[in-house]
Amino acid sequence: MEVSSRDALVELLGASIGAAEARAAVDREADAMKLGRNLTTAEGFEVLRRVESAGGPPGLAARIALRRLQRSSPAQASGQYRAASSDGPVEVAEIERLLAIGLGAPKARELVHHAMAILGVAGEVLDRDAAARLLDAIAETHPTMASYARFAKVKILLT
């Protein structure tokens, strides 16, 4: 993963929040810093930190990107970013609760159970990878619900 251009940052964030929203967040922060299209590594990390501090879905996506970058290249990110721990199981009820924020409880429950059936997943508790796959399945099978699924995925991966 690299952070040497605005396009690279948009690609990092776009998987979680969509390319348009990622582009808007990256451009807003890079423009505020008066940066060009190409960035130094330090500038790329600073843009991600600024997007993270702005909050909302782009902020959560930036936090995930920073965490991934820290794992893949600790020398670049050492001391500059400390990720929260996100180990342990995820309750299906928590996934439903996160989706219900925007969709309502009945629709959230329906989407989760439909995705679980598609994936062949059962139980009241999932590991984080299974929870992420479940939310990806919701986003793929119900494009109009994708932003809610991405939001829930980001929250699950960060908590």
The stretch 94-121 carries a mean pLDDT of: 90
DSSP bridge partners of 91 = 125
How does pLDDT run across 6-23, given as a tens digit for each residue?
999 999 898 889 999 999
What is the predicted pLDDT for the residue at 82? 38
**Is the pLDDT confidence value at 158 over 90?**
no
What is the predicted pLDDT for the residue at 24? 95
What is the predicted pLDDT for the residue at 84? 41
**How many percent of the chain have pLDDT more than 70?**
89
How does pLDDT run across 44-70, given as a tens digit for each residue?
889 999 998 888 899 888 888 888 887
- Distance of alpha carbon 138 from alpha carbon 150, whole angstroms: 9
**Is the pLDDT confidence value at 104 over 80?**
yes
Q: What is the pTM of this model?
A: 0.50
- Distance of alpha carbon 146 from alpha carbon 141, whole angstroms: 9
Q: Which residues contact 98 (CB under 8 A, 6 or more apart)?
A: 108, 151, 152, 155, 156
Q: With b meaning 16 or more CB within 10 Å and e meaning fewer, what string describes 67-78?
A: bebbeeeeebbe
Q: What share of the chain is helix, strand, coil (3-state, %, to 5)?
A: 75, 5, 20
Half-sphere CA count of 12, side-chain side, radius 13 A: 29
**Is the pLDDT confidence value at 78 over 60?**
no
| Plot region of 88 (φ>0 → left; ψ -120 to 50 → alpha; else → beta) | left
**Is the pLDDT confidence value at 27 over 80?**
yes
The stretch 82-111 carries a mean pLDDT of: 81
DSSP bridge partners of 5 = 38
What is the predicted pLDDT for the residue at 87? 62
